[in-house]
Amino acid sequence: MTELYRGDPKDGVAWITGASTGIGRALALRLAAEGYVVAATSRDEERLDTLVKEASAMPGKVVSFPCDVTDQAGMEKIVARIEREAGEIVLCVFNAGNFFPTRGDRLDALNIMKTFELNLFGVVYGLVPVVDRMRLRGRGQVALVGSASSYFGWPSAAAYGASKAALNNMAEALKHDFDKLNIRLQIVNPGFVDTPLTERNRLTAPAMISVEEASRRMAQSFRTGGFETSFPRRFTLSMKLLRLLPFRLRFAFVHRITRWKSRPLAPCRRSRIERHERQL
Protein backbone atom coordinates (compact mmCIF):
# COMPACT_ATOMS: atom_id res chain seq x y z
CA MET A 1 0.00 0.00 0.00
CA THR A 2 1.34 3.43 -0.96
CA GLU A 3 2.18 5.69 1.99
CA LEU A 4 -0.08 8.72 2.29
CA TYR A 5 1.48 12.12 1.66
CA ARG A 6 3.14 14.03 4.50
CA GLY A 7 3.78 17.75 4.30
CA ASP A 8 7.33 18.94 3.68
CA PRO A 9 8.73 22.49 3.89
CA LYS A 10 10.21 22.02 0.40
CA ASP A 11 6.74 21.40 -1.06
CA GLY A 12 4.87 24.41 0.23
CA VAL A 13 3.21 26.23 3.11
CA ALA A 14 1.94 25.17 6.53
CA TRP A 15 -1.30 26.98 7.46
CA ILE A 16 -2.29 27.28 11.13
CA THR A 17 -5.52 28.80 12.46
CA GLY A 18 -5.67 30.17 15.99
CA ALA A 19 -1.99 31.00 15.65
CA SER A 20 -1.78 34.12 17.82
CA THR A 21 -1.79 32.41 21.24
CA GLY A 22 -1.36 29.08 23.00
CA ILE A 23 -0.65 25.90 21.10
CA GLY A 24 -1.11 27.57 17.70
CA ARG A 25 1.53 30.19 18.41
CA ALA A 26 4.04 27.65 19.75
CA LEU A 27 3.41 25.37 16.79
CA ALA A 28 3.89 28.21 14.29
CA LEU A 29 7.32 28.95 15.77
CA ARG A 30 8.26 25.27 15.81
CA LEU A 31 7.31 24.72 12.17
CA ALA A 32 9.13 27.90 11.14
CA ALA A 33 12.20 26.53 12.94
CA GLU A 34 11.84 23.38 10.84
CA GLY A 35 11.98 25.48 7.68
CA TYR A 36 8.32 25.96 6.86
CA VAL A 37 6.77 29.12 5.53
CA VAL A 38 3.92 29.31 8.06
CA ALA A 39 0.71 31.11 7.13
CA ALA A 40 -0.63 32.24 10.52
CA THR A 41 -4.32 33.04 10.88
CA SER A 42 -6.09 34.72 13.79
CA ARG A 43 -8.37 37.69 14.36
CA ASP A 44 -5.64 39.40 16.43
CA GLU A 45 -3.44 41.18 13.88
CA GLU A 46 -1.25 42.77 16.54
CA ARG A 47 -0.27 39.44 18.05
CA LEU A 48 0.30 37.98 14.60
CA ASP A 49 2.69 40.85 13.84
CA THR A 50 4.60 40.04 17.05
CA LEU A 51 4.74 36.38 16.02
CA VAL A 52 6.13 37.32 12.59
CA LYS A 53 8.94 39.31 14.23
CA GLU A 54 9.77 36.53 16.68
CA ALA A 55 10.24 34.07 13.82
CA SER A 56 12.33 36.43 11.69
CA ALA A 57 15.67 34.74 12.44
CA MET A 58 14.45 31.19 11.88
CA PRO A 59 15.16 28.97 8.86
CA GLY A 60 11.57 29.39 7.75
CA LYS A 61 9.26 32.31 8.42
CA VAL A 62 5.78 33.25 9.61
CA VAL A 63 3.49 35.31 7.39
CA SER A 64 0.40 36.99 8.83
CA PHE A 65 -2.97 36.23 7.23
CA PRO A 66 -5.57 37.58 9.67
CA CYS A 67 -9.12 36.25 9.36
CA ASP A 68 -12.09 35.27 11.51
CA VAL A 69 -12.55 31.50 11.09
CA THR A 70 -16.31 31.86 11.58
CA ASP A 71 -16.52 33.97 8.39
CA GLN A 72 -17.16 31.40 5.66
CA ALA A 73 -16.59 33.75 2.72
CA GLY A 74 -13.53 35.23 4.44
CA MET A 75 -11.99 31.79 4.91
CA GLU A 76 -12.41 30.97 1.23
CA LYS A 77 -10.70 34.23 0.36
CA ILE A 78 -7.85 33.70 2.82
CA VAL A 79 -7.07 30.25 1.40
CA ALA A 80 -6.86 31.77 -2.08
CA ARG A 81 -4.72 34.64 -0.79
CA ILE A 82 -2.28 32.34 1.03
CA GLU A 83 -1.72 30.26 -2.09
CA ARG A 84 -1.37 33.36 -4.24
CA GLU A 85 1.06 35.21 -1.96
CA ALA A 86 2.92 32.49 0.00
CA GLY A 87 2.61 29.22 -1.91
CA GLU A 88 0.66 25.97 -2.02
CA ILE A 89 -0.76 24.79 1.30
CA VAL A 90 0.64 21.30 1.90
CA LEU A 91 -0.07 21.11 5.64
CA CYS A 92 -2.93 22.78 7.45
CA VAL A 93 -3.66 22.68 11.15
CA PHE A 94 -7.14 23.71 12.24
CA ASN A 95 -6.35 24.78 15.77
CA ALA A 96 -8.66 27.75 16.45
CA GLY A 97 -11.11 27.08 19.26
CA ASN A 98 -12.46 28.37 22.54
CA PHE A 99 -14.03 27.15 25.77
CA PHE A 100 -17.29 28.67 26.99
CA PRO A 101 -18.37 27.00 30.28
CA THR A 102 -21.72 25.31 29.75
CA ARG A 103 -23.46 23.90 32.80
CA GLY A 104 -26.85 22.25 33.17
CA ASP A 105 -27.90 24.65 35.93
CA ARG A 106 -27.20 27.74 33.82
CA LEU A 107 -27.88 26.65 30.27
CA ASP A 108 -27.28 29.29 27.65
CA ALA A 109 -28.11 28.60 24.01
CA LEU A 110 -25.71 31.33 22.87
CA ASN A 111 -22.77 29.62 24.60
CA ILE A 112 -23.48 26.41 22.74
CA MET A 113 -23.98 28.16 19.40
CA LYS A 114 -20.73 30.18 19.78
CA THR A 115 -18.80 27.04 20.67
CA PHE A 116 -19.96 25.08 17.64
CA GLU A 117 -19.59 28.05 15.30
CA LEU A 118 -15.93 28.43 16.28
CA ASN A 119 -14.78 24.90 17.19
CA LEU A 120 -16.65 22.97 14.48
CA PHE A 121 -17.81 25.27 11.69
CA GLY A 122 -14.61 27.32 11.98
CA VAL A 123 -12.89 24.13 10.84
CA VAL A 124 -15.39 23.31 8.11
CA TYR A 125 -15.17 26.80 6.57
CA GLY A 126 -11.43 26.37 6.02
CA LEU A 127 -11.44 22.65 5.32
CA VAL A 128 -13.70 22.83 2.27
CA PRO A 129 -11.65 25.29 0.19
CA VAL A 130 -8.25 23.86 1.17
CA VAL A 131 -9.26 20.27 0.40
CA ASP A 132 -10.59 21.35 -3.00
CA ARG A 133 -7.10 22.62 -3.85
CA MET A 134 -5.31 19.62 -2.34
CA ARG A 135 -7.47 17.27 -4.38
CA LEU A 136 -6.52 19.03 -7.61
CA ARG A 137 -2.83 18.61 -6.75
CA GLY A 138 -3.25 15.02 -5.60
CA ARG A 139 -1.67 15.49 -2.17
CA GLY A 140 -1.99 17.23 1.18
CA GLN A 141 -2.01 16.85 4.95
CA VAL A 142 -4.72 18.09 7.29
CA ALA A 143 -4.73 18.05 11.10
CA LEU A 144 -7.76 18.87 13.25
CA VAL A 145 -7.15 19.80 16.88
CA GLY A 146 -9.70 18.05 19.06
CA SER A 147 -9.47 17.36 22.77
CA ALA A 148 -9.35 14.49 25.24
CA SER A 149 -12.63 15.95 26.57
CA SER A 150 -14.26 14.41 23.48
CA TYR A 151 -13.96 10.90 24.98
CA PHE A 152 -16.83 11.44 27.43
CA GLY A 153 -18.77 14.23 29.11
CA TRP A 154 -17.23 16.45 31.81
CA PRO A 155 -19.04 18.97 34.02
CA SER A 156 -19.18 22.49 32.51
CA ALA A 157 -17.81 21.20 29.17
CA ALA A 158 -21.14 20.25 27.57
CA ALA A 159 -20.61 22.48 24.54
CA TYR A 160 -16.81 22.24 24.28
CA GLY A 161 -16.63 18.45 24.62
CA ALA A 162 -19.52 17.96 22.20
CA SER A 163 -17.87 20.17 19.58
CA LYS A 164 -14.59 18.26 19.88
CA ALA A 165 -16.41 14.91 19.75
CA ALA A 166 -18.04 16.11 16.53
CA LEU A 167 -14.58 16.88 15.10
CA ASN A 168 -13.38 13.37 15.96
CA ASN A 169 -16.40 11.73 14.34
CA MET A 170 -16.18 13.96 11.28
CA ALA A 171 -12.48 13.20 10.84
CA GLU A 172 -13.05 9.45 11.13
CA ALA A 173 -15.81 9.58 8.53
CA LEU A 174 -13.85 11.79 6.10
CA LYS A 175 -10.70 9.67 6.30
CA HIS A 176 -12.23 6.93 4.14
CA ASP A 177 -12.38 9.32 1.18
CA PHE A 178 -9.35 11.46 1.99
CA ASP A 179 -7.15 8.35 1.84
CA LYS A 180 -8.23 7.83 -1.77
CA LEU A 181 -7.33 11.47 -2.52
CA ASN A 182 -3.83 11.10 -1.01
CA ILE A 183 -4.75 13.63 1.68
CA ARG A 184 -3.48 12.53 5.09
CA LEU A 185 -6.10 13.39 7.71
CA GLN A 186 -5.18 13.43 11.40
CA ILE A 187 -6.93 14.27 14.65
CA VAL A 188 -4.96 15.56 17.63
CA ASN A 189 -6.56 15.13 21.07
CA PRO A 190 -4.51 16.91 23.74
CA GLY A 191 -5.17 16.62 27.44
CA PHE A 192 -4.69 19.70 29.61
CA VAL A 193 -2.23 22.21 28.14
CA ASP A 194 -1.15 25.35 29.99
CA THR A 195 -2.88 27.98 27.83
CA PRO A 196 -5.19 30.96 28.47
CA LEU A 197 -8.08 28.67 27.45
CA THR A 198 -7.26 26.15 30.21
CA GLU A 199 -7.14 28.96 32.76
CA ARG A 200 -10.85 29.54 32.14
CA ASN A 201 -11.66 25.95 33.11
CA ARG A 202 -12.06 25.72 36.88
CA LEU A 203 -11.89 21.93 36.97
CA THR A 204 -8.90 20.01 38.25
CA ALA A 205 -6.33 19.79 35.43
CA PRO A 206 -4.19 16.66 35.94
CA ALA A 207 -1.03 15.95 33.93
CA MET A 208 -0.90 19.47 32.49
CA ILE A 209 1.88 20.11 29.97
CA SER A 210 3.36 23.28 28.48
CA VAL A 211 2.47 24.65 25.06
CA GLU A 212 6.06 24.02 23.96
CA GLU A 213 5.76 20.33 24.81
CA ALA A 214 2.34 20.13 23.14
CA SER A 215 3.68 21.74 19.96
CA ARG A 216 6.66 19.36 19.94
CA ARG A 217 4.40 16.34 20.11
CA MET A 218 2.10 17.72 17.44
CA ALA A 219 4.96 18.45 15.06
CA GLN A 220 6.28 14.92 15.64
CA SER A 221 2.85 13.49 14.82
CA PHE A 222 2.83 15.35 11.51
CA ARG A 223 6.14 13.71 10.61
CA THR A 224 5.51 10.17 11.83
CA GLY A 225 2.09 9.82 13.49
CA GLY A 226 -1.01 7.96 12.43
CA PHE A 227 -4.65 9.00 12.38
CA GLU A 228 -4.98 9.97 16.04
CA THR A 229 -2.41 11.54 18.33
CA SER A 230 -3.24 12.06 21.99
CA PHE A 231 -1.06 13.28 24.82
CA PRO A 232 0.13 13.10 27.51
CA ARG A 233 -0.22 9.35 27.11
CA ARG A 234 -0.62 8.50 30.79
CA PHE A 235 -3.63 10.82 30.96
CA THR A 236 -5.32 10.17 27.63
CA LEU A 237 -4.92 6.40 27.95
CA SER A 238 -6.65 6.50 31.33
CA MET A 239 -9.44 8.58 29.76
CA LYS A 240 -9.92 5.99 27.03
CA LEU A 241 -10.06 3.20 29.61
CA LEU A 242 -12.61 5.13 31.67
CA ARG A 243 -14.75 5.41 28.54
CA LEU A 244 -15.16 1.62 28.69
CA LEU A 245 -16.68 1.69 32.19
CA PRO A 246 -20.45 1.48 32.73
CA PHE A 247 -22.01 4.94 32.98
CA ARG A 248 -22.73 4.53 36.72
CA LEU A 249 -19.07 3.96 37.53
CA ARG A 250 -17.85 6.65 35.16
CA PHE A 251 -20.19 9.28 36.63
CA ALA A 252 -19.07 8.30 40.13
CA PHE A 253 -15.41 8.65 39.16
CA VAL A 254 -15.89 12.07 37.53
CA HIS A 255 -17.87 13.37 40.51
CA ARG A 256 -15.15 12.17 42.86
CA ILE A 257 -12.19 13.82 41.11
CA THR A 258 -14.06 17.05 40.31
CA ARG A 259 -16.03 17.17 43.59
CA TRP A 260 -18.88 18.34 41.43
CA LYS A 261 -21.69 17.17 43.71
CA SER A 262 -20.44 19.46 46.47
CA ARG A 263 -20.53 22.55 44.25
CA PRO A 264 -23.54 24.84 44.70
CA LEU A 265 -26.12 25.22 41.97
CA ALA A 266 -26.40 28.53 40.16
CA PRO A 267 -29.38 30.70 41.16
CA CYS A 268 -32.55 30.10 39.17
CA ARG A 269 -32.98 32.85 36.56
CA ARG A 270 -36.57 33.78 37.34
CA SER A 271 -36.33 37.00 35.35
CA ARG A 272 -35.69 35.03 32.17
CA ILE A 273 -38.60 32.69 32.89
CA GLU A 274 -40.89 35.66 33.53
CA ARG A 275 -39.74 37.31 30.30
CA HIS A 276 -40.59 34.15 28.34
CA GLU A 277 -43.98 33.99 30.02
CA ARG A 278 -44.72 37.58 29.01
CA GLN A 279 -43.77 36.81 25.42
CA LEU A 280 -46.37 34.06 25.38
Give the chain as a DSSP string: -PPPP---TTT-EEEEES-SSHHHHHHHHHHHHTT-EEEEE-S-HHHHHHHHHHTTTSSSEEEE----TT-HHHHHHHHHHHHHHT--EEEEEE-------B-GGG--HHHHHHHHHHHTHHHHHHHHHHHHHHHHHT-EEEEEE--GGGSS--TTBHHHHHHHHHHHHHHHHHHHHHHHTTEEEEEEEE--B-SHHHHT--S--TT-B-HHHHHHHHHHHHHH--SEEEESHHHHHHHHHHTTS-HHHHHHHHHHHHTGGGSPPPPP-HHHHHHHHHH-
For residue 5, indicate whether it is catalytic: no
Distance, CA of 70 to CA of 118 (rounded, Å): 6
Distance, CA of 216 to CA of 41 (rounded, Å): 20
User: Which pLDDT value is given to residue 109?
Assistant: 93
SS (H, E, C) 176-192: HHHHHCCEEEEEEEECC
Residue 193 CB coordination number (10 Å): 22
User: Which pLDDT value is given to residue 235?
Assistant: 87
Architecture of the 13-245 domain: 3-Layer(aba) Sandwich (3.40)
Residue 15 CA from chain centroid, whole number = 13
User: Nearest CA to 173 among 224, 133, 227, 231?
Assistant: 227
Per-residue pLDDT of the chain (280 residues; tens, 9 = 90+): 679 999 999 999 999 999 999 999 999 999 999 999 999 999 999 999 999 999 999 999 999 999 999 999 999 999 999 999 999 999 999 999 999 999 998 899 999 999 999 999 999 999 999 999 999 999 999 999 999 999 999 999 999 999 999 999 999 999 999 999 999 999 999 988 987 665 555 555 667 899 999 999 999 999 999 999 999 988 899 889 999 999 999 999 888 888 888 888 888 776 555 565 556 6
User: Which pLDDT value is given to residue 30?
Assistant: 98
Question: Checking DSSP bridges between strand 89-94 and strand 13-17, what pairing results, if any?
Answer: parallel
Distance, CA of 264 to CA of 2 (rounded, Å): 56
